[in-house]
């Protein structure tokens, strides 16, 4: 592991920690609608895949069929970080 990679890892970890603190202080900030979740995830396909796999849990507000569905910013960011780490481990053992 080189210095630049270590620096990136630390920065990404602190971003996740900051999101976790924001989630505790203001829970409404953490919840985003599907369109915003696509932007955070970077790909509609990636997000749909992980929702289907059960890695990301949608939160429905209300009992009606057309109630909005929300997703956690922290959950999406943590999953992307875990996926990137897994790729780095398997590519650079």
44-84 confidence digits (pLDDT tens): 999 999 999 999 999 998 899 899 999 999 999 889 888 88
Q: Beta strands 59-60 and 69-72: pairing type?
A: antiparallel
pLDDT higher than 90, residue 91: no
pLDDT higher than 60, residue 8: yes
How long is the chain?
Answer: 93
Confidence grade of residue 30 (pLDDT, cut at 50, 70, 90): confident
Per the structure, the count of domains in the chain is 1
The model carries a pTM of 0.76
DSSP 54: T
More confident residue, 21 or 87: 21
CATH number at residue 81: 1.10.1660
Residue 92 pLDDT = 57
Residue 26 pLDDT = 85
**Nearest-CA neighbor of 49 among 15, 89, 76, 13?**
76
Full residue range of the structural domain in which residue 35 is found: 3-91
């Amino acid at each position: 592991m080189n210095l630049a990679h270590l620096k990136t890892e630390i920065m990404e970890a602190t971003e996740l920690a900051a999101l976790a603190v924001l989630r505790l202080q203001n829970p409404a900030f953490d919840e985003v609608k599907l369109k915003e979740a696509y932007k955070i995830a970077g790909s509609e396909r990636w997000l749909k895949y992980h929702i289907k796999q059960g890695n990301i849990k949608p939160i429905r507000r209300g009992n009606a069929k057309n109630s909005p569905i929300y997703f956690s910013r922290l959950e999406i960011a943590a999953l992307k970080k875990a996926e990137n780490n897994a790729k780095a481990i398997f590519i650079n053992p």
